[in-house]
């Protein structure tokens, strides 16, 4: 396929029985492209309901549904030097569909944001909602839980009530979609970098890709999420039987070359 924006990865024509996500220890959490597409649409429609729009910033915390303890005290979200250790069982499907859903609306995603967050919406574990200092008007969507605070949206319960129809927004390939450190990256840049990863590392349809690096690094998002979805591969959590691994051993996120929206070539 030759997508122009990330939303093309979940276009209606991509609704197949091929596996898009699997958890080696929890087979019931397997997700196929059919479900990936419809859930991304539902997520976009839910986010729109709570004020997410083109140009808005959405924070997404990549953590287990029921993490032990609070957020890491050294989490520096906006920095590309954010901790690289991944929690057990991550990424969860909700994190991936939230990223895709936000992209369908033309919003900008910041993974693992600072605990003082200024944006339109924040997706995080229900157990951590009280650990963030948010700007006025920021909606908190929580996975896991359910949350005890009535002002917090329970992500899983509300997303399933949304209409499974692709949102009508038209997004430009040059629209920013991912923020990291002081840089932003547009749809065309991320897709171009993902194509380079596919070509360089031979990522192919049906390949399983494991992620062992922080989503605060845009190279991780490109190689671990966009590249496998681009070719019809799958994102895998747990288990050793994978075709590719993104992290210190395998595809190095820092080696993924991207050109931020400010035009300066950067390996982040």
The string of pLDDT tens digits covering residues 150-190 is 999 999 999 999 999 999 999 999 999 999 988 999 999 99
Is the entire prediction scored with pTM above 0.85?
yes
Under-70 pLDDT residues of the chain: 73-87, 262-268
Average pLDDT across the chain, whole number: 91
DSSP string of the chain? ---SSGGGGG-GGG--SSEEEEETT-GGG-EEHHHHHHHHHHHHHHHHHTT--TT-EEEE----SS-SSSS-TT--TTSTTS--PPPTT-S-HHHHHHHHHHHHTT-EEEES--SEE-SSEEEEEGGGGGG-EE-TTPEEEEESS--SSTTSEEHHHHHTTS--S-------TTSEEEEETTEEEEHHHHHHHHHHHHHHHT--TT-EEEE-S-TTSHHHHIIIIIHHHHHT-EEEESSS--SEEESSSSB-GGG-EE--TTS--EE-
Whether residue 268 lies inside any domain: the answer is no
Whether residue 79 lies inside any domain: the answer is yes
Read off the pLDDT of residues 122-158 as tens digits, 9 standing for 90 and up: 999 999 999 999 999 999 999 998 999 999 999 999 9
| Tally of structural domains, the chain | 1
CATH of residue 212's domain is 3.40.50.12780
Whether residue 62 lies inside any domain: the answer is yes
Whether residue 95 lies inside any domain: the answer is yes
Whether residue 1 lies inside any domain: the answer is no
Range of the structural domain that residue 49 is part of: 6-263
């Amino acid at each position: 396929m030759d997508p122009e924006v990330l939303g093309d990865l979940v276009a209606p024509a991509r609704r197949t029985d091929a596996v898009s996500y699997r958890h080696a220890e929890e087979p019931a959490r397997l997700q196929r492209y059919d479900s990936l597409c419809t859930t991304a649409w539902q997520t976009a429609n839910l986010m729109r309901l709570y004020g997410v729009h083109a140009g808005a910033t959405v924070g997404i915390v990549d953590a287990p549904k029921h993490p032990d303890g609070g957020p890491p005290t050294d989490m520096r979200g906006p920095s590309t030097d954010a901790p690289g250790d991944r929690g057990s069982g991550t990424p969860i499907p909700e994190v991936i569909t939230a990223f895709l859903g936000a992209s369908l609306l033309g919003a900008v995603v910041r993974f693992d944001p600072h605990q003082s967050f200024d944006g339109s919406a924040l997706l995080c574990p229900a157990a951590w909602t009280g650990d963030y200092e948010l700007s006025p008007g920021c909606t908190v969507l929580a996975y896991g839980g359910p949350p005890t605070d009535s002002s917090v949206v329970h992500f899983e319960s509300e997303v399933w009530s949304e209409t499974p129809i692709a949102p009508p927004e038209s997004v430009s390939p040059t629209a920013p979609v991912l923020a990291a450190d002081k840089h932003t990256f547009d749809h065309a840049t991320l897709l171009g970098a993902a194509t380079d990863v596919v070509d360089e590392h031979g990522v192919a349809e049906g390949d399983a890709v494991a992620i062992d690096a922080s989503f605060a690094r845009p190279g991780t998002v490109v190689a671990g999420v966009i590249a496998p979805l681009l070719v019809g591969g799958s994102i895998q959590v747990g288990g050793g039987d994978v075709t590719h691994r993104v992290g210190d051993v395998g595809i190095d996120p820092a080696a993924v070359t991207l050109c931020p929206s400010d035009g300066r070539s950067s390996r982040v």
